[in-house]
Amino acid sequence: MSDTSTEPSNLPIPEFQNVQHEVEFEGEVLTIDTTNWRHSRLLQLQILTSFGVFILFGLAEQTVGTIIPKLQEHYSINDVQISFIYFCSVTGYLVTAMVNSITHEYLGIKGVAVLGATSMASAYFIASKTPPFVIFLVCYFFSGVGFGTLDASLNTWMGNLTDSNQLLGILHGCYGIGSLISPALISHLLSKSKTPWKWNEYYIVLSVVAAFCSTAIILTFKYETPKKYKYTSQLRHKKSKPTNDSVELNTFKDNTIDEEFEIGDDSEEDDTDDSHSASFREVLSKGLVWAFALILFIYVGGEAAFAAWLVTFLLRIKNLDYKVASYMATTFWTGVTIGRIGLGFVTAHYFSTELWANFVYILVSFVGCLTFWFLTFTNWIWLLFIIVLITGTAIGPIFPTTIVASVNILPSKYQASGIGFICAFGGGGGAGIPFLIGLLAESSEVGLRTYPLIISIMFGVLLAYWVFIMKKYSLDYKRNAI
């Protein structure tokens, strides 16, 4: 089927969602695929490629936390200097968030994703050469650039597919798979009795995986051009405008945080604005975007800090063997993976909305972190393994469930830049909170000992914050609004 049109509104919406077809738009013939993965082999391959990218995320993200002792020995650095690795990573992530809308318009989803994977491959290849520590930090800046471009692009793209809850759950479950593989694999390779690996050699593995992902993206996302991105953005905006643009974006009125989120009322402007995308400045003016960004900042910060310093905490405070400590880190990520993959289906089938599902997950996470802190005063290591597994399982689905909720609440014009910024700001927590834990760990043993309590407090704050979101949007919340 072929249509000739430069106005997306002339194209029947059901065909856009469920039937593969071609359409001419601004002088380019676009291949528009179904959003239902059951009906498209190409879409299935794109989804599998995305899963591979998130496995890479997990492999890379847990590398530093696992090799902290090796990095400190090689570079003669302390905990604070280690924390700058996380800082550089999130700086790269935030830079990409600021230009996310522009890069998507000029490069399309394929171009943005290839840029991200290539950036990661190059960064890890240079890191494998044991460069000076300053260059090593620069490598992690470009690793952050790769994370930011891929994370925002693939989350937004997959959030608009059929079965987005389940797919995003599996997507972030793949991150968990990479995260649980990395500590155990690194521990095995570095402690082999015969020809043990050096810490830097593992970065060659990461570079090869990133290069493979880049190639797969080029092949499977070949139709995701800049013109197609513009076309589908306009189409989603026109479809969602009657329902989604009525969401109150500019005031977040509550007795406790009214002043923090009240930015000014221009809802009438939103209702009459036919633009398909918003600039980064417009996105930053929306209180709802900041609300979700702060939620993910707290969540990702808590999750990343718990995982990044768990091995060091168990070695220094609990005096555990390195292998045992790394296995507990693997146990945590096993739980995260189980939660993200399995509980995504639970969210879709057993909860009325993502808002209620996230409330339960955050509550269990808070109780689990608090229980872990209490049990660190005992010698019941086997019980710690169980608590870490349960806590990881509850923590796992929070990120994808939050993304689905934001996609269903945010108008489509704010999604490319908005969700990109939300993910990037969350990544800021993933660097900032581990950095602060590093400062505490360097200050004294007591500082490191309190880190489980700090994580518990963060999830307590997150629970209170999510209750506020539920109160504000539960009545008007609609699933699969886009």
The predicted-structure confidence for 171-191, as pLDDT tens digits, reads as follows: 988 887 888 788 888 888 888
CA distance 173 to 333: 9
Dist CA 357 CA 343 (whole Å): 9
Residues 71-75, mean pLDDT to the nearest whole number: 90
Task: Tell me how many degrees the CA angle 127-130-135 measures, rounded to the nearest 5.
Answer: 60
Pairing outcome for strands 21-25 and 2-4: parallel
Task: Examine the pLDDT at 276 and tell me if it is beyond 60.
Answer: no
- Which pLDDT does position 257 carry in this prediction? 40
Type of residue at 130:
T
Cβ proximity of 121 and 185 under 8 Å: no
Query: How much is the average pLDDT of 439-451?
Result: 74
Domain residue spans in the chain?
A: 2-32, 38-229+279-473
- CA dist., res. 134 & res. 146, Å (int): 19
Residues 40-63 have a mean pLDDT of 92
pLDDT at 317 over 90: no
pLDDT tens digits, 397-435: 998 899 888 877 877 677 666 777 887 788 778 767 877
What tens digit of pLDDT does each residue of 113-150 get? 999 999 999 999 999 999 999 999 999 999 999 988 89
In this prediction, what percent of the chain has a pLDDT beyond 90?
27
Average pLDDT taken over every residue of the chain: 81
**pLDDT(349) > 50:** yes
The reported pLDDT for the residue numbered 265 is: 36
Tell the CATH superfamily of the 38-229+279-473 domain.
MFS general substrate transporter like domains (1.20.1250.20)
User: Which candidate, 141, 449, 409, 211, places its Cα nearest to that of 316?
Assistant: 449
Query: If you write DSSP's letter for every residue of 377-417 in order, what string do you get?
Result: TS--HHHHHHHHHHHHHHHTTHHHHHHHHHHHHS-GGGHHH
8-state DSSP, 208: H
CA 433 from chain center: how many Å? 16
Please state the φ and ψ torsions of residue 231, each to the nearest 5 degrees: -60, -50
**DSSP for 426-471, written as a single string:** HHHHHHHHHHHHHHHHHH-HHHHHTHHHHHHHHHHHHHHHHHHHHH
Strands 28-32, 2-4: pairing is unpaired
Contacts of 16 (CB under 8 A, 6+ apart): 32, 232, 235
Tokens representing 420 are: 């990109």
